[in-house]
Chain A
Amino acid sequence: MLSYILRRTGLALVITVLAVSLLFVIIHMIPGDPVSTMLGPKASPELRAALEERMGLNEPLLIQIGLFFANMLRGDLGIDVFSNRQVTDIVLGQVPYTLTLILTSIGWSAIIGIALGCYSAANRNSFGDRLTGVLSVSMIAVPAFVVSLYSLLFFAVTLKWFPAIGAGEPGDFGDQLWHLVLPSLAIGLSWVGYIARLVRASMLEIMGEGHVRTARAFGLPERWITYRYALRLAILPTVTVIGVGMGFLLSAAVFTEIVFSRPGLGKLVIDSITTRNYPVVMGSVLFSTLIFVASTTLADIINALLDPRLRSAR
């Protein structure tokens, strides 16, 4: 298992380097002069030249990439030219907000989705199964931005039950939780349906397999068979989907952070791209890539833990 984890982690590092390099090139290919955008119309040519030098923009692109990685290994992602703050501090200040949002969203949707999926599989073709099916597909069909806007209008504006903006007072857990309800509802709702359908399909497939029939023949209780044997295997594709789905979750978080004016990586990326604030863009991209790669790697490792065949197959 250890060698599998090491191999998988090594691959993750290679993917990270390639992805960040590619994104670096793409970002620098977008038209737009960061110096003009940053300094505004009043900047003198001397000031522009000084900033170009400070940002390393007068170097060839390959050298800029090399410098970025060399500095990154020293833990230095550069300085934000607007605020003179360390990019690492800026990005690390936003990562917890996005991670909390994503993990809360996927957490509650996984719990409800798995429960609904199990119920549907255990009560196949019942009224409850059909109702769950309709609800699941409906949830999948509604995009996160629609849920964001309508939940905001209904729960925040009309009912005034939940706050419309922000992430809550730092240090006040209750307030932060309160501010998390609507954004995590927006991101997680479609995942409830998605996970419920996935778990149901996997469960039905597993329930028809030989080892489940054998367990039944031995007289094991149905509940035990369903939750102890079938669910353990049926959940494998769900773990994989959640891992790979981290990219979708991150993109959904971008929109949700904007709609709810929440701090977070998504909002930081958008703000810094529109101002061509390259150091902050690259810092944000690096951390987003790390989150994505780490989640897919973790999903693979969890899968390998749950299913020993996967370890030996690689």
Chain B
Amino acid sequence: MKKTNIEWTKIPVGRRSFLQGASMLGLAGATGLGFSGNAFADGAVLKTRAYADMRSLDPAFSQGVPDEEIQAPIYNKLIQYKSGSEWGWQLDAAESIEQVDGTHINFTLKDNIGFTNGFGAMTAEDVKYSFERIIDDKLESSNKPDWSALDHVEVTGERTGTIVLKNAFQPLWSITLPYIAGNIVSKKAFESVGGKIDTTPVATSGPYMHKSWVPKQKTTLVRNPDWKGDPAAFDEIQIYPIDDEKASEIAYEANSIDFTRVSLDSLDRLKSSPPENTTVAEFPSLFYVWVGMNLSNPKLGNLKLRQAIQYAIDVPSIMQASYFGGAAPSTGIIAPGLSGHRDQSLTGIAANLEMAQKLMDESGESNVSLTIDILNKSTNVTTAQIIQANLAAIGISLEVRLHEGATFWNLGGNEDLELILNRFSMTPDPYYATSWFITEQAGVWNWERFGSEEFDKIHTDAQAESDPVKRNQMYQRAQDLMEESGAYKFITHEATPNIYRNTISPALRPDGLPLYRYFSKA
């Protein structure tokens, strides 16, 4: 996989900055004002930002990145994501793990991992309990789909076992095992509190332990003194939930945090004039943004009209105006670096107005007036306005309809939808992307009501396909089918720009998300 992260560093040197610093210290001393609340990371404490507050520390009920950012350092999985520019995994609690056939995975646990609070060594029984509880109907785990292929876990020894699947499931290695549903909890500890927890863990096993959670303010992790693996680099990790990227940039510049994602519109400023002792790093993202067209709406029943719209939309203009040149155009729903990514789309990236007008003429449509529904965010509004202008060039008038979050995400059931500007999150396996566009999802998350037997078959078959070349081709074909339907114009995968102090050495996934347990001092 090709990585596109670029780094800009600024080390404070020179007389002026020295004098500024000295005068600030003098002023602080003279006025009796201290810096206790906003000191630079002293190497012992890592202060970082999460985009939302923690919801649950139970792997069966955790829903997203903010929860996993806390769980990954305090729990162990059989395997964890590797940091770096290419997607991959590394051993964690497993001393070894091997797929013996399509449905059987043997594992052996390390012999030096134990749970806190006296809950003993990690055993294969804990692995069995952790995975099987998620598929237990009685628990009503929201993460059950991640283990949909699990039949059971067979315990063959104190530290050995076999994961038995109902059917071959390749995403197991890229989504299930190294992410939330792969966290191993203590059977004894969980059973002692009735089988599930909320925000207070009973026993953990990772290099860090959960110390405290002040709702809406801070989660604090501390070193686990009983951890026998590579020592944790920081005495404490403090994770601050800051929803707004602008607020987190200010918090960073005020020295209140040491690592944060920043907004794309701040990127130019931060690159040209980074805060002191700071590295700015850009990473590609896995999100995918597209314009969808509802195939069940009679107004969009004409394939030529839909194709005219595909050719009229100018993605490079959107990249400049909406993403400030910080993101690249996409060719589909699968990002670069993942199996199934296409190097080119069928309809191109830049607008082809000549082709669009030709298709428009062939469609026989005139006085076309359409709507586009969007989530009310400035990036989306700008994108919609550009599309509005693009379509006006071929005689289509477009009305932009804005919605706030909870309203927008429930539009799928509305059969009158016309155009939609949409953005889905993604995990590092193409199966996750195609799963929303199968026929069964029409009106649920497949808002375009796209239906293709071939596409559905690819989605099913590719989950089990172990040959990477074949799997790659299958997902590429799936995206061709989406585009050929005329229901999709792919826009971008966005980007993840991060800033961090030069005093830390972050461990990041290829999409720029942090793996705090592997963060170290620079």
Query: Which residues of A are interface residues toward B (Cβ below 8 A)?
Result: 30-34, 36-37, 39-44, 46-47, 50, 82-85, 90, 93-94, 152-153, 156-157, 159-168, 170, 175, 178-179, 258-259, 261-264, 267-268, 271, 273-276
**Are B256 and A258 touching (Cβ within 8 A)?**
no
Q: How far is the CB of A177 from chain B (nearest CB, A)?
A: 10
Q: Lowest 9 CB-CB distances: which A-B pairs, in order? A: A32-B406, A263-B216, A164-B254, A163-B37, A156-B254, A84-B198, A82-B55, A263-B217, A165-B251
A267 (CB) vs chain B CBs: closest residue = B216
Q: How far is the CB of B181 from chain A (nearest CB, A)?
A: 11
Among B31, B56, B215, which residue has its beta carbon within 8 angstroms of that of A84? B56
The answer for the CA separation of A276 and B408 in the assembled complex, in Å, is 12
Which range contains the number of B residues in contact with the other chain?
35 or more
Q: Write out the residue numbers on chain A whose beta carbons fall within 8 Å of the beta carbon of B445.
A: 41
Among A33, A82, A161, A164, which residue has its beta carbon within 8 angstroms of that of B33? A161
Q: How far is the CB of A182 from chain B (nearest CB, A)?
A: 10
The answer for the CA separation of A167 and B27 in the assembled complex, in Å, is 24
The answer for the CA separation of A246 and B33 in the assembled complex, in Å, is 32
Q: How far is the CB of A149 from chain B (nearest CB, A)?
A: 9
**Are A44 and B144 touching (Cβ within 8 A)?**
yes
Task: Using A40-B142, A170-B214 as known contacts, say yes or no to A179 and B56 having CB atoms under 8 A apart.
Answer: no
Among B28, B36, B38, B406, which residue has its beta carbon within 8 angstroms of that of A156? B38
The answer for the CA separation of A46 and B189 in the assembled complex, in Å, is 28
Which residues from 405 to 432 on chain B have a C-beta closer than 8 Å to any C-beta of chain A?
405-407, 409-410
Task: Using A34-B406, A166-B256, A274-B405 as known contacts, say yes or no to A156 and B250 having CB atoms under 8 A apart.
Answer: yes
**Using an 8 Å CB-CB cutoff, how does the interface string of B118-141 with A read, 1 for contact, 0 for none?**
000000000000000000010010
Interface membership of B87, Cβ < 8 A: no
**Are B407 and A31 touching (Cβ within 8 A)?**
yes
Q: Write out the residue numbers on chain B whose beta carbons fall within 8 Å of the beta carbon of A42.
A: 142-146
Interface membership of B404, Cβ < 8 A: yes
A43 (CB) vs chain B CBs: closest residue = B142
Interface membership of B361, Cβ < 8 A: no
The answer for the CA separation of A168 and B405 in the assembled complex, in Å, is 31
B214 (CB) vs chain A CBs: closest residue = A170
**Are A160 and B214 touching (Cβ within 8 A)?**
no
Among B196, B216, B255, which residue has its beta carbon within 8 angstroms of that of A268? B216
B143 (CB) vs chain A CBs: closest residue = A42
**Are A83 and B198 touching (Cβ within 8 A)?**
yes
Which secondary structure characterizes the binding site on chain A? Answer: loop
**Are A83 and B63 touching (Cβ within 8 A)?**
no
Task: Using A93-B215, A258-B243 as known contacts, say yes or no to A37 and B409 having CB atoms under 8 A apart.
Answer: yes
Q: How far is the CB of A23 from chain B (nearest CB, A)?
A: 17
A156 (CB) vs chain B CBs: closest residue = B254
Q: How far is the CB of A310 from chain B (nearest CB, A)?
A: 40
The answer for the CA separation of A83 and B61 in the assembled complex, in Å, is 8
Task: Using A94-B216, A157-B254, A160-B255 as known contacts, say yes or no to A32 and B410 having CB atoms under 8 A apart.
Answer: yes
Which residues from 16 to 62 on chain B have a C-beta closer than 8 Å to any C-beta of chain A?
24, 27-28, 31, 33, 35-38, 53, 55-56, 61
Query: Which residues of B are interface residues toward A (Cβ below 8 A)?
Result: 24, 27-28, 31, 33, 35-38, 53, 55-56, 61, 63-64, 137, 140, 142-146, 196, 198-199, 212, 214-218, 240-244, 247-248, 250-251, 253-257, 404-407, 409-410, 436, 445
Given contacts A152-B254, A156-B38, A261-B251, 16 further A-B contacts (CB under 8 A): A31-B410, A37-B409, A46-B137, A47-B144, A82-B63, A160-B254, A161-B28, A163-B37, A164-B253, A164-B256, A165-B256, A166-B217, A167-B217, A179-B37, A262-B216, A274-B404
The answer for the CA separation of A152 and B144 in the assembled complex, in Å, is 44
**Are A164 and B38 touching (Cβ within 8 A)?**
yes
What are 8 inter-chain pairs, A to B, with CB distance below 8 A? A32-B404, A32-B410, A50-B140, A84-B61, A162-B38, A164-B251, A170-B214, A261-B247
Q: How far is the CB of B431 from chain A (nearest CB, A)?
A: 13
Q: Write out the residue numbers on chain B whose beta carbons fall within 8 Å of the beta carbon of A39.
A: 142
B145 (CB) vs chain A CBs: closest residue = A42
**Are B142 and A47 touching (Cβ within 8 A)?**
yes
**Are B250 and A164 touching (Cβ within 8 A)?**
yes
Among A31, A83, A264, which residue has its beta carbon within 8 angstroms of that of B56? A83
Among A33, A47, A85, A261, which residue has its beta carbon within 8 angstroms of that of B241? A261
Q: How far is the CB of A92 from chain B (nearest CB, A)?
A: 11
Q: Which of A33, A42, A85 has the most CB of B within 10 A?
A: A42
**Are A41 and B436 touching (Cβ within 8 A)?**
yes
Q: Write out the residue numbers on chain A whose beta carbons fall within 8 Å of the beta carbon of B37.
A: 162-163, 168, 175, 178-179
Q: How far is the CB of B259 from chain A (nearest CB, A)?
A: 14
Q: How far is the CB of A119 from chain B (nearest CB, A)?
A: 26
The answer for the CA separation of A271 and B66 in the assembled complex, in Å, is 15
The answer for the CA separation of A179 and B254 in the assembled complex, in Å, is 13
Q: Write out the residue numbers on chain B whose beta carbons fall within 8 Å of the beta carbon of A264.
A: 216
**Are B247 and A160 touching (Cβ within 8 A)?**
no
Q: How far is the CB of B252 from chain A (nearest CB, A)?
A: 9
The answer for the CA separation of A262 and B143 in the assembled complex, in Å, is 31
Q: Write out the residue numbers on chain B whose beta carbons fall within 8 Å of the beta carbon of A84.
A: 56, 61, 196, 198
Q: Write out the residue numbers on chain B whose beta carbons fall within 8 Å of the beta carbon of A261.
A: 217, 240-243, 247-248, 251
The answer for the CA separation of A153 and B254 in the assembled complex, in Å, is 8
Q: Write out the residue numbers on chain B whose beta carbons fall within 8 Å of the beta carbon of A93.
A: 215
The answer for the CA separation of A152 and B404 in the assembled complex, in Å, is 28
Q: Write out the residue numbers on chain A whose beta carbons fall within 8 Å of the beta carbon of B145.
A: 42, 44
Q: Which of B37, B244, B250 has the most CB of A within 10 A?
A: B37
The answer for the CA separation of A210 and B170 in the assembled complex, in Å, is 91
